[in-house]
Structure 1
Amino acid sequence: MDYKRLTIRGISYSQTQSGAYALLLEHEETNIKLPIVIGNFEAQSISLGLEKDIHPPRPLTHDLFSKFVTAAHFEISSVIIYQIIDGVFFSNINFKNKDSGEEMILDARTSDAVAMAVRFEAAIYTTQQVLSEAGILLELDDLSKQEETIDQMAGEGDLVALNLEELQKLLDDAVKDEDFDSALEIQEELKRRKKKID
């Protein structure tokens, strides 16, 4: 299968879900962004994994599992985000034994898989289908300069009442503000309309 490589672009606090964060992954070739809502603990663990110089006084769960994987003479070769169902991402962690070359695949929550990938500097991949379903393309030059925010516009009426141009503006603003939960809702409305046209 032709997998698409992703890079971590950042983690931000979710403006719509209390206590949640948005992990932003990006496809290197097309710049399509893949926003994934994750919990506070996972966001902290991924951030600490990315910051190699910061070491917590006691090992986090992902650090402990990383030590176990290394002690068992395995390494993580890659992480694959292979599916999205009802907004939930599904991932596999691919392990390889350093001695025998034996390969092993474990199902994992995407946030855990990414937290492990950063500790082993393993590649993160996804499928074209996942990118098509959940990806957001952000063109920085085309961002609208109007001052209305997504919350203000959405508060004036339901997304269904807006035209395509207004929805696209809302989507651009949501991505700019890193409000990925709202961006996903708007993108679903855009996809629903495109299906009707097709």
Structure 2
Amino acid sequence: MDMIEMRVEGIGIDQGNRTLVLLRDTERRRFLPIWIGPSEAVAIAMELENKHAPRPMTHDLMTSILSELGVRVSRIVVSDFRDSTFYATVTLLDETGVREVDARPSDAIALALRAKAKIFVNEEVADQTAILLQEGQELPLGMQTDEDSTAEPEEIDRFMKLLQGVNLDQKPS
């Protein structure tokens, strides 16, 4: 299975007041929006902003438990997209070997950020759900695309409509 490394571009709220995490492929400027719950959005946003709650949040607790057990999160993969739902796996590593655990992408991303683990997306999932912008296309996020990026006009329109009204500066409460 070919995979694409992604980074978290940000957390936002769409026009319908639904929260999403936006992943970005640094090489090809593919963007992958994944709608998530508000609690997970807060957990991801707090880690992105290096803010910590006075008491451990769920993903902090999970990270601490794994660490105490000598288990390391080596990576997460957004591995599948079926029936309008994304699926992910968390790859765990310890002295006995490697294990993969099924997870929601939002939880997997929150965990990966805390564990400083890499985030990947299965290339087939990216081909099916991500948007690839063409060279020079201005992104609504104030970024420029790579020179080798290509996209069909309908892909650009779909992406622009998708992000219309998404505010990556507005944080979930």
- Normalising TM by the smaller chain, what interval? 0.7 to 0.9
- In structure 2, what residue type is equivalent to 1:5? E
- In structure 1, what residue type is equivalent to 2:46? L
Counterpart CA distance in 1 for 2:130 and 2:155 is 14
| 2:172 is aligned with 1:177 | no
- In structure 1, what residue type is equivalent to 2:35? V
Residue 28 of structure 1 deviates from its aligned partner by 2.1
| TM-score, length of structure 1 as denominator length | 0.70
Aligned residues: 155
Larger CA deviation: 130-139 vs 106-115 = 130-139
Q: Deviations over 1:23-60 (max 9, x none)?
A: 110122211101100111001001112233x2101211
- In structure 2, what residue type is equivalent to 1:138? L
- Structure with greater proportional helix content: 1
Equivalent position of 2:85 in the other structure: 88
Equivalent position of 2:170 in the other structure: none
Give the number of the structure whose alpha-carbon radius of gyration is greater.
Answer: 1
- In structure 2, what residue type is equivalent to 1:3? M
Q: Which has the higher contact order (CA 8 A, sep 6+)?
A: 2
**Kept after mapping to 2: 8 A contact 1:4/1:27:** yes
Residues 64, 42 of structure 1: CA spacing in aligned structure 2 closer, same or farther, 3 A cutoff? same
What's the % identity of the aligned pairs?
Answer: 28
Counterpart CA distance in 1 for 2:130 and 2:156 is 17
| TM-score, length of structure 2 as denominator length | 0.80
Gapped regions of structure 2 (runs ≥ 5) = 140-151, 168-173
Counterpart CA distance in 1 for 2:135 and 2:160 is 11
Runs of 4+ in 1 over 6 A off after TM superposition: none
